[in-house]
Chains A and B, each alone.
Chain A
């Protein structure tokens, strides 16, 4: 082994250590930025180590690709934080694309050389199937999040049979190739089937399930990188891919638990199908009030808990929410935020939006912790959240969301809920919270309504 090869392997080993430290430092907000620095340093080391590889014949194409990647990457890092779920989905697509392309190129190279062992072939098949299905699946998810593609779940009879059938054909073709790698005609078939499967996998999935789906795609992208590591016999790729895959899997499990659903239920049982069960029932009236009524309630409270949801992101109302937090805190009111794990469109979405609005992170409380405080809370303010505060999840076994852990907003003394209108939320499920005696509905656009509440609160701050 030449000195150069030792240098390359040493740079990979150091990169792997830095990647692990990077995620370790992400355990809390105080050390998290150090984690980013460690990750970037590891990446730079591994890239420099690779660039000195004696097998590289020319640098022109590599340089062009770096320029193009940077030109796309920099603007993608500056998107508004409400668009972070789409950006994340896009980056999973890029990861899947890279894995798919490398696998494809390696197959044909080794086919020419006659060096396709059974092991290499198997690893390439796994890499290619995962890579290409992550590519199209993530593009579909990004399209739905950006609302270029209809966000409603699209379902039809026999959907699951069709999807699994396609995947089964792809895997069977793959096994055939492992046995005889020279039937190259099967390879494009596998690529095509994987691409189609990725699309069909996301078609029946609705907006509320996006946090789980993004996490799953995250996991697939990581596993595709692991498979690529096996193909290229590159251990740093295996380590980084395993970290990514583990992260995606853990997030998916957390998201599924937070909705009381299983993986198979999210992937194969579209939310749209259960709507019919929830409809019906007699017309009820909710108590509605003005922003002034709401500010009176809030201003006289001792403790306030704000429950944000995806509606806050849509209305870009996080800065108004922060102003309410400021006004109330100034008056000595204790204000906290209740964060449901699946609020928003990706894991941790609400935390990032509120941090952007400069809400201190120690005011952001997880569901289980805040639920202990809610029976002693004076006022809960619900902004753009719906299913995550629906008491039917606790009380009504017939409800499609029955069993899902929720934020117990109904246990507070008073509830103020802002909504555009009385139309039911995403899942089409009626919410008893809005009809409760202690609930005051304030209708209108979240940004406008919260702005009026802020005005009313600051006008009164004289006394």
Chain B
């Protein structure tokens, strides 16, 4: 990896952190619990690194650790998106008759 790669990753991190602060400050306080479960599901994108580790099969050790990491990440993806949607479905406005 060249030094430029390192710097371009640092730039990506910097910009993503700023975007994150902006976007998340606009999230309604009503939805802070779903926010946490949604960001948790999204950060389970760690699954891509785990898939490569489990699939490249360099050694038994790395394949086993990779497989456990895939299982942990998939757990977060599945439960995170499902429970966030389940919670959000419950948020209803006052019905017009009231």
**Which A residues lie at the B interface, using CB under 8 A?**
12, 15-16, 19-20, 22-24, 26-29, 32-33, 35-36, 39-40, 42-43, 46-47, 49-51, 53, 55-59, 61-62, 64-66, 68-70, 72-74, 76-79, 81, 84, 87-88, 91-92, 94-95, 97-99, 101-102, 104-106, 108-109, 112, 117, 119-120, 214-215, 218, 221-222, 225-226, 228-248, 250-251, 254, 329, 339, 341, 346-349, 351-352, 355-356, 358, 360-364, 366
CA distance A109 to B82 in the complex (A): 35
Instruction: Give the interface size class of chain B.
Output: 35 or more
Residue from A19, A92, A108 within 8 A of B40 (CB atoms): A92
- Could you say which residues of chain A place their CB within 8 Å of the CB of B95? 360
4 nearest CB pairs, A to B: A69-B74, A73-B78, A246-B20, A348-B32
Residue from A61, A214, A242, A339 within 8 A of B54 (CB atoms): A61
Query: Distance in Å from the Cβ of B79 to the closest Cβ of chain A?
Result: 4
Q: Is there an interface contact between B28 and A57, defined as CB atoms closer than 8 Å?
A: no
Q: Is there an interface contact between A221 and B43, defined as CB atoms closer than 8 Å?
A: yes
Q: Is there an interface contact between A74 and B65, defined as CB atoms closer than 8 Å?
A: no
Known: A61-B63, A94-B72, A109-B62. A349 touches B33 (CB 8 A): yes
CA distance A244 to B44 in the complex (A): 10
The interface bits of chain B over 14-46 (1 if a CB of A lies within 8 angstroms of the residue's CB, else 0) are: 001101110111111111111111111111111
Q: Is there an interface contact between A29 and B9, defined as CB atoms closer than 8 Å?
A: no
CA distance A60 to B10 in the complex (A): 35
Q: Is there an interface contact between B36 and A69, defined as CB atoms closer than 8 Å?
A: no
Residue from A70, A228, A234, A348 within 8 A of B33 (CB atoms): A348
- Could you say which residues of chain A place their CB within 8 Å of the CB of B78? 69-70, 73-74, 76-77
Q: Is there an interface contact between B20 and A243, defined as CB atoms closer than 8 Å?
A: yes
Residue from B61, B62, B72 within 8 A of A97 (CB atoms): B72
- Could you say which residues of chain B place their CB within 8 Å of the CB of A95? 40, 43-44, 46, 72-73, 76
Chief secondary structure at chain A's binding surface: helix
| B51-98, CB < 8 A from A | 51-59, 61-63, 65-95, 98
Chain B, residue nearest A12 (CB): B48
Q: Is there an interface contact between B55 and A61, defined as CB atoms closer than 8 Å?
A: yes
- Could you say which residues of chain B place their CB within 8 Å of the CB of A101? 50, 65-66, 68-69, 72
Residue from B16, B36, B73, B82 within 8 A of A218 (CB atoms): B36
Q: Is there an interface contact between A239 and B80, defined as CB atoms closer than 8 Å?
A: no
- Could you say which residues of chain A place their CB within 8 Å of the CB of B34? 26, 32, 348, 352
- Could you say which residues of chain A place their CB within 8 Å of the CB of B57? 57-58, 61
What are 25 A-B pairs with beta-carbon distances under 8 A? A23-B23, A26-B38, A27-B28, A29-B28, A39-B41, A39-B81, A47-B47, A61-B63, A62-B70, A69-B73, A69-B77, A91-B40, A108-B62, A119-B1, A214-B36, A221-B40, A237-B48, A242-B13, A243-B20, A243-B23, A243-B39, A248-B39, A341-B29, A358-B92, A363-B94
Query: Distance in Å from the Cβ of A149 to the closest Cβ of chain B?
Result: 21
Q: Is there an interface contact between B36 and A247, defined as CB atoms closer than 8 Å?
A: yes
**Which B residues lie at the A interface, using CB under 8 A?**
1, 5-6, 9, 12-13, 16-17, 19-21, 23-59, 61-63, 65-95, 98
Q: Count the A-B residue pairs with Cβ separation under 8 angstroms: how many?
A: 373
Q: Is there an interface contact between A51 and B12, defined as CB atoms closer than 8 Å?
A: no
Q: Is there an interface contact between B30 and A238, defined as CB atoms closer than 8 Å?
A: no
- Could you say which residues of chain B place their CB within 8 Å of the CB of A109? 58-59, 62
- Could you say which residues of chain A place their CB within 8 Å of the CB of B79? 72-74, 76-77, 87, 91
Other A-B pairs beyond A47-B51, A95-B73, A360-B95, 14, CB < 8 Å:
A12-B48, A23-B39, A66-B71, A68-B74, A70-B74, A77-B86, A78-B86, A98-B76, A101-B65, A108-B59, A231-B49, A244-B20, A352-B34, A366-B29
Query: Distance in Å from the Cβ of A195 to the closest Cβ of chain B?
Result: 15
CA distance A81 to B88 in the complex (A): 12
Query: Distance in Å from the Cβ of A45 to the closest Cβ of chain B?
Result: 10
Residue from B50, B51, B52, B67 within 8 A of A64 (CB atoms): B67
CA distance A88 to B66 in the complex (A): 23
Q: Is there an interface contact between A56 and B51, defined as CB atoms closer than 8 Å?
A: yes
Residue from B9, B27, B41, B74 within 8 A of A238 (CB atoms): B9
Q: Is there an interface contact between B38 and A228, defined as CB atoms closer than 8 Å?
A: no
- Could you say which residues of chain A place their CB within 8 Å of the CB of B6? 119
Q: Is there an interface contact between B74 and A66, defined as CB atoms closer than 8 Å?
A: yes
- Could you say which residues of chain A place their CB within 8 Å of the CB of B31? 26, 28-29, 32, 348, 351
Q: Is there an interface contact between A94 and B73, defined as CB atoms closer than 8 Å?
A: yes
CA distance A348 to B19 in the complex (A): 22
Q: Is there an interface contact between A228 and B73, defined as CB atoms closer than 8 Å?
A: no
Q: Is there an interface contact between A351 and B39, defined as CB atoms closer than 8 Å?
A: no
- Could you say which residues of chain B place their CB within 8 Å of the CB of A218? 36, 39-40
Q: Is there an interface contact between A97 and B68, defined as CB atoms closer than 8 Å?
A: yes
CA distance A228 to B50 in the complex (A): 10
Known: A24-B26, A101-B65, A105-B61. A247 touches B39 (CB 8 A): yes
Query: Distance in Å from the Cβ of A215 to the closest Cβ of chain B?
Result: 8
